[in-house]
A and B are shown apart, each in its own frame.
Chain A
């Protein structure tokens, strides 16, 4: 079993829909990261969080440490949000090493 699991693997939605991507992990962590990878391969860090909730524009990330679960939400989705969204965790007491989920491929239709 992977230490970081994401769902769904693929998601197609209409523009303006509210999007939720889920991430579950099975190890002790010091932080959880959400990354965005565009078709060309470039990766951008969206959020790093260790508790609660963070918001940036139309993106919201939440984490529940007790349940070992995080969600990434996109409000009023737009075709330019189409990308692969990757959940990753920094393991506790393991320096900066990160374990990555396999990603969720999101496609927003106009």
Chain B
């Protein structure tokens, strides 16, 4: 069966520090991968999606970036965090246009 992992589960970082969140999927090949953010009091917002290794599409301009170095690995990064980057970050996967399956999420607090 397929599983999706995210780490860390929680993270507290100072403003200006770098960020790296990792997401891995098991049990499927060539999934579509997604990074979402849920800011306090707001709905889920799509940040990046990827249909294959090295193929990343960005939905919103920001100081975040994403990379897909391996088929089932998706990384969300930032060189310098802002206060507004605080939120709950969710990774998800899907195959073709089927339903998306979400990871457990990472709660990021930028101080």
Contact = CB atoms under 8 A, between A and B. Distances in A.
B27 interface: no
Interface stretch (A14-22, A59-67, A74-82, A94-102): A94-102
Contacts of B107: 41
Contact of B100 (A41, A42, A96, A102): A96
Interface of B, helix, strand, loop or mixed by DSSP: strand
B46 A45 contact: no
Contacts of B104: 41-42
A90 B100 CA distance: 10
Q: Interface range on chain A: under 10, 10 to 19, 20 to 34, or 35 or more?
A: 20 to 34
Contacts of B94: 96
Nearest to B92: A43
Interface of A, helix, strand, loop or mixed by DSSP: strand
A103 B59 CA distance: 21
Q: Which among A88, A96, A102 has the greatest number of chain B C-beta atoms within 10 A?
A: A96
A88 B59 CA distance: 16
B111 interface: no
A88 B100 CA distance: 11
Interface in B77-111: 88, 90, 94, 96-102, 104-105, 107
A48 B100 CA distance: 9
A72 interface: no
A107 interface: no
A97 B35 CA distance: 11
A86 B43 contact: yes
